[in-house]
Amino acid sequence: MQDTEKVKQMLLSRIAESETPREVLKAPELKQLYGSIKDLPPEQRGDFGKKVNELKVAVEKAVDDKEAELENSSVEPIDTTAPWDVNGKPLELLPADNGSRHPLTKEIETIADIFTRMGFGVIESRQIDDDYHMFESLNFPDNHPARDGYDTFRTEENFIAPAHTSTMQNRILKANKSNLDENGYIGVVAIGRCFRNEDLDATHEHTFHQFEGVFVSKKATLAEMLGTLRSFFEVYYSQKLKIKTQPSYFPFVEPGLEFTIEKPAALGGKSSSGEGEWLEMLGCGMIHPNVLKDAGIDPTQYRGFAWGGGIERLIMLKYGIEDIRHFESGKLAFLREFA
Ligand code: FA5
């Protein structure tokens, strides 16, 4: 049987002299001690095991203490009299002309520019909202399971961090109602941040951006909506695209659709003819009569369409960005790609 006290003293003195004390926990002497327990006669195992355990606790504590000591000794005192040591050598700051706009800012400007040229007004969406705009005005019945798809964050006062830009629909409709007089139309795109309680991965963030379109007139049609969206995506990606829709459910539109495009060859899609990969770009549909009614617009006289799409995923396809988490990471290597 080994002398645990001797091993303990040896390890403690090694820790005291080490710059990397945690390494001592991997010492072969320790491993040997642990390994030797099972070889002892059963009646000695309990006692010896207890001693080995006491040694382990003492050694781990010594490692923690030594690490804290090393950390404190390397902290430089803070000069509270100036933002930096005015008598020391000059700070190495990044030159200001190396700064650049964030890729999201740039692309949001491009998106806003395209819709403006198509005749839409562009506004910014709110970043804090309430239950009425998040659910009620969008035809979500109380306690309806469709609310679960928009799990987000609430304050104690019951304000909501919006899970989609559709929270802007009721406001857009109310604020622009008078445009409908004399055969006019409402055409507004709201762009801004959304928040969701998500399991994060390469295509899901808790904070992301959407662009929401709302169009209302006496004779708006689904075909007009598809034409509008096709034009937008073809200008944004600078090429002709194949589009397809499939049915989907959102309480605030009827019918509801998912708008998909075939991944273009120039953006990593299949180059030869034949069916390629279809990418879901956004949710859309004809505005539900209850949503129009709630905003004081007569659904027997007016019809509308709306869509909402994710901006990060749009940009990811354009530039071949493989992980959505780069956008909010602040990593300079990523940002420099777009400088
Ligand atoms: C909506 O948010 C609906 N409000 C869209 C809509 C508007 C339908 C108007 C009809 C009329 P959805 O949950 O599918 O739908 O989200 C729309 C898009 O937002 C997605 O296609 C995706 O591009 C983006 N998105 C959603 N969740 C995330 C997330 N966690 N991270 C990044 N992008 C997301």
| Residue-level pLDDT at 82 | 57
How far apart are the CA of 299 and the centre of ligand 1, in A? Answer: 25
In this prediction, residue 76 carries a pLDDT of 63
Number of H helices, E strands in the chain: 10, 7
Give the separation between CA 244 and CA 317, rounded to whole angstroms.
Answer: 17
Query: What separation in Å is there between the alpha carbon of 118 and the centre of ligand 1?
Result: 22
Determine the atom of ligand 1 nearest the C-alpha atom of 205. Answer: 31
pLDDT at 205: 95
CA-angle at 133, arms to 132 and 139, nearest 5°: 75
pLDDT averaged per 10 residues in sequence order, the chain, 339 residues: 83 91 89 86 88 90 89 65 64 65 95 96 97 96 88 92 97 97 94 94 95 97 97 96 96 97 84 78 98 98 98 95 93 84
Kindly state whether residues 193 and 46 are assigned to the same domain: no
- Let me know if residue 144 belongs to a domain: yes
- Ligand 1 centroid to Cα of residue 196, in Å, is 10
Whether 176 and 50 share a structural domain: no
Q: pLDDT value at position 161? A: 96
Question: Closest by alpha carbon to 170, among 301, 302, 303, 287?
Answer: 287
The verdict on 177 and 322 lying in the same domain is yes
Q: Is residue 219 part of a domain?
A: yes
Which domain, by its residues, includes 184? 103-336
Overall domain count for the chain: 2
Q: Which residues line ligand 1 (CB under 6 A)?
A: 164, 166, 196, 198, 204-205, 208, 210, 212, 250, 253, 256, 280, 282-285, 306-310, 312-313, 324
297 CA from centroid of ligand 1 (Å) = 25
Is 97 a domain residue?
no
pLDDT at position 333: 84
Do both 308 and 165 map to the same domain? yes
Cα→Cα distances 213→4, 116, 123, 140, 198, Å: 74, 12, 10, 19, 24
**The domain boundary residue, chosen from 34, 55, 73:** 73
